[in-house]
Amino acid sequence: MLHTAYCKVLDGKARFEGRSSFTTWFFGVVRRTAQEQARWRWLRVARLERWWQDASVDGKGEDEVEADADDRVAGLQAALPRLSPRQQEVLHLVFYQGLTIQESAEVLGLPVGTARTHYERGKARLRHLLLDEELS
């Protein structure tokens, strides 16, 4: 990702106009590059999941498959706010921004072990909440 940000600067796709310090501007370029790459990763995963669902539908109608996916998304959106704020932050950085746990720890100013604990506990709590919802 950092390499891509450097290439944007060298190719002139990102231009420093002096409205902020160079460091602030460059971190903005890196942040936007990371967001773009995370978005592309998410799109690839979504396409792969869609393909996988289409391949494994086994007689389910398209409406049923979409309803199942909508239910899962709704369940996840309902469960996420029930996590601690720190767990939400770590999970967001890892799953949506594509950072490693170590990178997430650096962003949040946490020791790596603490970030890893929040990550594991957050995943376990989500799993528990989603299973409870499924059973009810």
Q: Could you give the domains of the chain?
A: 1-56 (no CATH), 70-136 (1.10.10.10)
- Cα separation, 110 vs 26, in Å, equals 23
Assign 16 to helix, strand or coil.
coil
**Which tokens go with 29?**
């370029």
DSSP string, 74-87: HHHHHHGGGS-HHH
**Which tokens go with 45?**
């995963």
Q: What is the pTM of this model?
A: 0.51
pLDDT tens over the chain, length 136 residues? 677 886 777 777 787 888 878 888 888 888 888 888 877 777 777 776 776 666 555 555 555 656 666 777 777 778 889 999 999 999 888 888 888 898 888 888 899 999 999 999 999 998 888 888 776 6
